[in-house]
Amino acid sequence: MFGQEIADENTELNNNMINEKELEDNLTKLIDRSDIINATLFNEDGFVIANSDSNPNDDLGCDFFQDLAAISSGIISMASSLVTMTDPSSIAIKVNLQGGNEVEQDSFAMMFTSFSDEIHMVVVYPTNANVGLMNFEINQIKSEIKHYL
């Protein structure tokens, strides 16, 4: 009986790991098909679900993206409050911010989108990126990974 419970738990863990790997593959596909530098999927509480750049040997460690997810979660939450305060019939669908000016070489922008009430995504892209293509690819990914979430 007890052994069966452990086996079930292991199967669930394995399934979760497979899902996480597939989510990461989907995010990697997203950055390959567009100008996006990095994509991070996180939950309402600011915990990372999947990241396109999950190589632990990378210069930017896991903590870096965990911190980014936590800050992003705060931004989304405040943006929703602001929108509700200014117009109760509206909801925030997209939040953008830009670091540096357009003329600077390494300036970048971040886009925060919601997949559901609890799942959000932050993407980092250069300011000269093709935003139309990026939006299209993000919408594609949304429909592709819907069943994992």
Beta-bridged to residue 121, according to DSSP, are 41, 113
**Which stretch, 2-10, 42-50, 89-97, 136-144, contacts another protein (CB under 8 A)?**
89-97
Nearer to another protein, 108 or 148 (CB): 108
Q: Are 42 and 122 in contact (CB under 8 A)?
A: yes
Residue carrying structure tokens 């670091």? 99
Distance separating alpha carbons of residues 20 and 9, to the nearest angstrom: 16
Q: Smallest distance, Å, CB 137 to another protein? A: 18
Nearer to another protein, 17 or 71 (CB): 71
Q: Which amino acid would we find at residue 105?
A: Q
Q: Are 52 and 28 in contact (CB under 8 A)?
A: yes
Q: Between residue 1 and residue 60, which ones bind another protein under the rule CB under 8 A?
A: none
Q: Smallest distance, Å, CB 149 to another protein? A: 21
- Of the candidates 99, 126, 136, 139, which one interacts with another protein according to CB under 8 A? 99
Integer Rg of the chain from CA: 17
Token couple for 97:
């911010």
Nearer to another protein, 8 or 67 (CB): 67
Which residues make up the interface to another protein (CB under 8 A)?
A: 64, 67-68, 71-72, 74-75, 78-79, 81-83, 85-87, 89-101, 104, 106-108, 110, 124
